């Protein structure tokens, strides 16, 4: 599957395209399929998100899992500061990245 991601213009937060808007949680991301480039161009025009780009991901029971470790770290947060990730209470969250 293909996901569309970028960083929120104002906060810099990592965000994922949900089909209608942007979410901080990769679980909300949708497969943009062949529409990725068109959505990307439209969103670039809207200027809410910095440098949006398309990535490959795998559909899993827990939701989309980006193919590359860099995007998995973007999705969760720094592996060395679990307290600053999006899932600070989940002791196994780091395993999802690696």
Partner 1 sequence: MYRYDEYDQSIVDARVEEFRDQVERRLSGALTEDQFKPLRLMNGLYLQLHAYMLRVAVPYGTLDSRQMRMLGHIARKYDRGYGHFTTRQNIQYNWIKLADAPDILAELATVQMHAIQTSGNCIRNISSDQFAGAAADEVADPRPWAELLRQWSTFHPEFTYLPRKFKIAVIAADEDRAAMRLHDIGIQLLERDGVLGAKIFVGGGMGRTPMIAHEVKDFITADHLMSYLEACLRVYNRYGRRDNIYKARIKILLHEIGVDAYRDQVEAEFAAIRDLGIDPPLAELARITAMFAGPDFASDAPDSVDRSDPDFAVWLDQNVAAHKQPGHAIVTISLKPIGGIPGDASADQIDLMADLAERYGHDELRVTHAQNIVLPHVRKADLYAIWTALRDARLAEANLDLISDIIACPGLDYCSLANARSIPLAQKIGERFAGRQRELGELKLKISGCINACGHHHAGHIGILGVDKKGTENYQLLLGGSGAEDVSLGKITGPGFDEDGVVDAIERVTDRYVALREADERFLDTYRRVGMQPFKEAIYG
Q: Binding residues for partner 1, per CB under 8 A? A: 7, 9-14, 47, 50-51, 67-70, 73-74, 77-81, 84
CA atoms of 66 and 25, how far apart (whole Å): 12
| Of 2 and 74, CB closest to partner 1 | 74
Min dist CB 64 to partner 1, Å, is 17
Which residue in the block uniquely carries the two structure tokens 């398309």? Answer: 54
| Of 46 and 62, CB closest to partner 1 | 46
| Of 11 and 62, CB closest to partner 1 | 11
- SS3 track for 12-52: CCEEEECCCCEECCHHHCCCCHHHHHHHHHHHHHHCCEEEE
Min dist CB 38 to partner 1, Å, is 19
Among candidate residues 45, 3, 1, 41, the one with its CA nearest the CA of residue 22 = 3
| Of 20 and 47, CB closest to partner 1 | 47
CA atoms of 69 and 5, how far apart (whole Å): 14
Min dist CB 20 to partner 1, Å, is 20
């Amino acid at each position: 599957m293909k996901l569309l991601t970028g960083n929120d213009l104002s906060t810099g937060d990592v965000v994922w395209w949900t089909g209608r808007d942007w979410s901080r949680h990769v679980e909300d991301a949708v497969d943009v399929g062949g529409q990725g480039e068109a959505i990307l161009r439209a969103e670039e025009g809207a200027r809410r998100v910095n440098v949006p780009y398309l990535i490959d991901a795998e559909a899993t029971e827990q939701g989309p899992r980006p193919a590359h470790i860099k995007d998995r770290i973007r999705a969760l947060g720094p592996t060395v500061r679990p307290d600053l990730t999006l899932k600070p209470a989940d002791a196994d969250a780091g395993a999802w990245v690696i």
